Structure 1
Amino acid sequence: MAIPAYLWLNDDGGADIKGSVDVDDHEGSIEVTGFSHNLSLPTDGMVPLPMEMIRTINFGLRRV
């Protein structure tokens, strides 16, 4: 069984965005049930050295 992840968010004004979790020490958080991301590190075909900084292409969260 996977270990749950909990997410706390704030709006632009700094106020908490409340989630529905009621587990001790995680009250008001959002339970994350999935996470995915993609990274890109462009390299030169002739020399296997990075040509740029690592970039995050896609980032996704899934919640209950």
Structure 2
Amino acid sequence: MVVIRNDGLRKNAGTLASKAFGAFGNAGGHRAMARAEIPLVNVAGHLKDWSNATVSRFVIRQFEKSLK
């Protein structure tokens, strides 16, 4: 699960969650708060292992892709 929070003024957390993680599971929310629930089986092919560093890189990479 990824939880996103912001001030809801300049950005939309729900849109960000959907763009970044919608392909992997349920993702969305409101302008100021959102979340993504991703079954591990849906991202297994994108990760070389389950270490904190690898999973963190995946999450950050998805955010970066969605902001382009």
User: What band does the TM-score fall into relative to the shorter chain?
Assistant: under 0.3
Report the structure, 1 or 2, having the larger strand content.
1
* Bigger radius of gyration among the two: 1
Give the alignment's TM-score, normalised by structure 1: 0.22
- Normalised by the size of structure 2, how large is the TM-score? 0.22
Higher helix share: 2
